[in-house]
Amino acid sequence: MVDLFFIKTFVSVAKTGSFRIAAEKNFITQPAVSGHIKVLEQQLNCKLFERRGKKTFLTASGEIFLTYAENLLKTYEEARLQIDLIHNRLSGSIKLAAIYSIGMHELKTFLQTFIKKYPYIHIDIEYHHSDDLYELISNRKVDFGLLAYPKKLPGINSQIFNHDRLVLIQSSKNKIFLKSKITLKELNHIKYVALSEKTPTGLIIRDYLRSYKIYPDIISEYDNIETIKSIVEIGMGCSIIPRNTLYQNLKDKTLEIIPVSGLKLQRPVAVIYPTGKIFTKAAESFFKALTKKDPVK
């Protein structure tokens, strides 16, 4: 008998084309995803995916199974909703879209706590660039978007629910600065791995440094914070990134924060949603918990 969660994992891989992203969406490890797919392939006696270079594609058998898998999950969700109505349980589905740094770091602990309190609410999360989130919200493809530095746009409401401090990081082993604290001016001409100016946070950091006439030596620029951390870790340069993305790195002691006198930057983290949106009870519970109007414990 196949676990329904294995089928959900299969659909996630099919939709994203990535075992890694499927693992992140379902809050499990990548080896667990591989294990789920292996069990399904053994049960069905066929290959469901094939790799072409770094990409993952459905086989002909996988294409057929995907249709039935989606219908099965939909039927299960409908049945669960009807049963929950009888037992007066808060249930339903919430579809989120988030920028990667918020979805993987800012939201992780919150979602784990929320799901523990509301086990019958299903949350689906996908990752996009900031500009894509506004389009998804405008077209009502998702219930909520989560991003930094929200724009004021017609038809879209936003509410800030947190502020994340921006900090200077360097490798713990391959240090650039040997002092325990530096001044902002000491960043001038230092080797620096930049967060792309195409991201709102990257643009704010650039403008902030320029306002103080600080011009670091930018050796590379990325829009993915995880990539930046891996480059900094090997000692290629330092960087300024959100503090909340560093929990595991600080715990593992692969990166360290260097206090900078004069660096006072915080990025506002917000939830966006369509103007006039009528929330389901599940979505209302999520919104209130996220914005701390009804904190989850």
- DSSP assignment, residue 254? S
CA distance 270 to 169: 24
CA distances from 11 to 17, 45, 52, 155, 158 (A): 10, 18, 19, 32, 31
- pLDDT digits 0-9 by tens, 48-83: 999 888 789 999 999 999 999 999 998 988 887 777
Q: Where are the alpha helices (DSSP H) in the chain?
A: 4-16, 19-25, 30-44, 60-86, 100-101, 108-117, 130-138, 200-211, 225-233, 247-252, 281-290
Nearest-5° Cα angle at 24, 23 to 30: 30
Question: Does residue 174 sit in the same domain as residue 260?
Answer: yes
Question: CATH no. for residue 168?
Answer: 3.40.190.290
- pLDDT digits 0-9 by tens, 91-118: 888 999 999 999 888 888 899 899 988 8
Task: Give a yes or no: residue 2 inside a domain.
Answer: yes
- pLDDT digits 0-9 by tens, 245-297: 999 999 999 999 999 998 999 999 999 999 988 888 899 999 999 998 655 55
The residues with which 126 forms a beta bridge, in sequence order, are: 97
Quote the domain boundaries for residue 79: 1-87
Give the residue-averaged pLDDT of 167-182: 94
pTM: 0.72
Percentage of the chain beyond pLDDT 90 is 72
Q: How confident is the model at residue 88 (pLDDT cuts 50, 70, 90)?
A: low
The residues with which 86 forms a beta bridge, in sequence order, are: none
Task: Give a yes or no: residue 38 inside a domain.
Answer: yes
Provide the number of structural domains found in the chain: 2
Residue with tokens 């499927």: 22
**Residue 217 above 90 pLDDT?**
yes
Question: CATH no. for residue 21?
Answer: 1.10.10.10
